[in-house]
A and B are shown apart, each in its own frame.
Chain A
Amino acid sequence: DAKTTQPPSMDCAEGRAANLPCNHSTISGNEYVYWYRQIHSQGPQYIIHGLKNNETNEMASLIITEDRKSSTLILPHATLRDTAVYYCIVSPTDNYGQNFVFGPGTRLSVLP
C-alpha cells in the first residue's frame, strides 16, 4: 500500500502556481520524498526529490514541513503541458523494492 495520501484531482489556471499537497504522516527518518508525473500514455517522469530540506530545480520546488509529515510540490508557472497525474512517493534511502509504490496520484488539469 502507498504510504502517501494525495487529493485525487486539482485544477489550476494557466500561468498560475500549482501547489500539489502530499501527506506522508508515517514517513521514517531514512525515507526520501519523490515526485513523478505521468502525462497521458507516456512513462512516468521524475520531477524532484528531497529528504528534509526544501529543494528546487528547473521544473519545480519541493517544500517539506519541518516534521516531514507532509510536503507540497510547486509548479511556479503552470502551462497546459503540465496537465498530468502527479505521484508523491516515499522510499528508503538505501533501497527500492516494494517500498517504491505509486499510489493513485493527483490528476492536475491546467486550464486556459
Chain B
Amino acid sequence: DAGVIQSPRHEVTEMGQEVTLRCKPISGHDYLFWYRQTMMRGLELLIYFNNNVPIDDSGMPEDRFSAKMPNASFSTLKIQPSEPRDSAVYFCASSPQVNTEAFFGQGTRLTVV
C-alpha cells in the first residue's frame, strides 16, 4: 500500500477563495483523521470519521471549515472562504481500529495570502 495520500502537497490561494484538500486513506482502515499544524498551536485534531461517519468535529475551528467522507477511500476538507490565519500544514491520517497506530500522510501546506 502507498500509505495515506494527500493532495495537493502545496496550495497557495488568495483570501476569500475556496480551498479543498483531499485525502485517500489506507485501504481497509476504518478511521480517518484531519489535523492542522501551526507553529503557534502545534498539532490539532479537527475531525475524525469512523466508517465514513463523522464522529467528533469539535475541533473544527468555525463554520468556514467542512469535511466529508463520501466513501471509504476518499475524504475532503474544505475551507470557504479561506483566510490568512488558515495558513498551516494539514495532515490526514488513517487507522484500522482504536488502540492501534495511526498512519499520517505527508500533509498539505496551505498558504492563504
Binding site for B on A (CB under 8 A): 32, 41-46, 49, 87, 93-98, 100-104
Contacts and interface: CB of A to CB of B under 8 A. Distances in A.
Contacts of B106: 42-43
B99 A97 contact: no
Contacts, number: 53
B32 to A, nearest CB: 11
A107 B43 CA distance: 15
A49 B102 CA distance: 11
Interface in B26-49: 31, 33, 35, 42-45, 48
The A interface is mostly helix, strand or loop, or mixed, namely loop
Contact of B104 (A43, A93, A101, A103): A43
B33 A96 contact: yes
A52 B98 CA distance: 17
Given A96-B48, A97-B56, A104 B42 contact: yes
B101 interface: yes
Contacts of B42: 102-104
In which size bucket is the chain B interface? 20 to 34
B38 to A, nearest CB: 12
A93 B99 CA distance: 6
A64 B98 CA distance: 20
A100 B98 CA distance: 11
Contacts of B55: 95-97
A39 to B, nearest CB: 11
Interface string B57-68: 011000000000
